[in-house]
Copies of this chain bind each other. A is one copy, B any other.
Amino acid sequence: MSRKVTIALDAMGGDRGPAVVVPAALATLEKDDSVNLILVGLADVLEQVERQTTGKYGKRLKFRAATEVVGMDEHPGDVLRHKKDSSLRVAIELVKTAEADACVSSGNTGALMATARYVLKTLPGIDRPAIISAVPGLKSPTFMLDIGANVGCTADHLVQFALMGSVIAAGILDIEKPRVGLLNIGEEDIKGNEVIREAGNLLSHSGLNYQGFVEGDGIFHADVDVVVSDGLVGNVAIKTMEGVAGLIGSFLREEFRRSSLRRLQGIAANAALDALRARLDARRYNGASLVGLNGVVLKSHGGADQLAFETAVQTAIVEARKGVPVRIGELLGKQSRECIRA
């Protein structure tokens, strides 16, 4: 049997709040009886869920009231100062006090990162927590970081990202030595800026399974499991992906609506097109991890539906079971010992 884990869920986050989080929570409890949940939210929301579930899940579903909700547009600094009893913050504090092994929120990314950093602190040896997400690849997903938390990274930051990405990819893909690439403008050693070249040099001597520079199209080939970049570049890359996938989707819909014949052909092709959609379905890749903290924090997309939110919860469960923060700490320790020896 899998190790029991407890996940705290911010019931109030995201565009649809409890309407998405509560059904996703109940579905998770039904599917995996080694998972316990703590639902964090406004008292009236929690009472309604209690009435609805009538104690069906016993101690597997706990409730923790919070008196405030963080808006999607609130400034992270303001949230940190003034919303000390928000559902977002209480969920993170449950990880701090070890009542939960991980937490998941669809809330405001900036506020989540600022609060998680303040409450949980970064791991020793990590300067900046990063945001990491899986994207679809030809054979298996690729993990990209940083996709938006840090602009203006140094070579050392990129090396730390590579290490954290390796731990996450190893844990989730269940592989020994994930292959790491640095996102760059070309594959030759002379390409890019000084920061990227220096990071490449450091990574070649890092003990990580470093493969060299990759270009934008290399994210999707089966050559690397982790793609490391500054948060600005990573963010542009991941949003560009969403944009192209959306554009191709729009073009496909237009083409299959051009005439009655085309509509029929579209119906005939539906099974394959549905399978394609499923393989590219952003919901299957939902859940970006805030990595580099003393605890597992998952950010679900603000517009996540039930399936997408369940995916994020699933990632939180795996990261908690694999003890991602502890593994990162160990790998950092191993690296610094090796550096001292070298």
User: How far in angstroms is the closest Cβ of chain B from A111?
Assistant: 14
Would you give the 0/1 interface string for A116-137, flagging 1 where the beta carbon is closer than 8 Å to chain B?
0000000000000000000011
Q: What chain B residues lie within 8 Å of A231 (beta carbons)? A: 185
* A60 adjacent to chain B (CB < 8 Å): no
Q: What chain B residues lie within 8 Å of A272 (beta carbons)? A: 252, 255-256, 258, 262, 265-266, 269
Q: What chain B residues lie within 8 Å of A252 (beta carbons)? A: 272, 276
Which of these, B138, B148, B216, B268, contacts A239 with CB under 8 Å? B216
Q: What chain B residues lie within 8 Å of A264 (beta carbons)? A: 268
CB interface residues, A 163-222, toward B, < 8 Å: 183-186, 192-193, 215-221
Would you give the 0/1 interface string for A15-36, flagging 1 where the beta carbon is closer than 8 Å to chain B?
0000000000000000000000
Instruction: Flag if B243 contacts A218 (CB, 8 Å).
Output: yes
- The 3 A-B residue pairs whose C-beta atoms are closest, nearest first, are A216-B239, A217-B243, A216-B240
Residues of A that sit less than 8 Å from B by CB: 136-138, 148, 151-152, 183-186, 192-193, 215-221, 229, 231-233, 235-248, 250-252, 255-256, 258, 262, 264-266, 268-269, 271-273, 275-276, 279-280
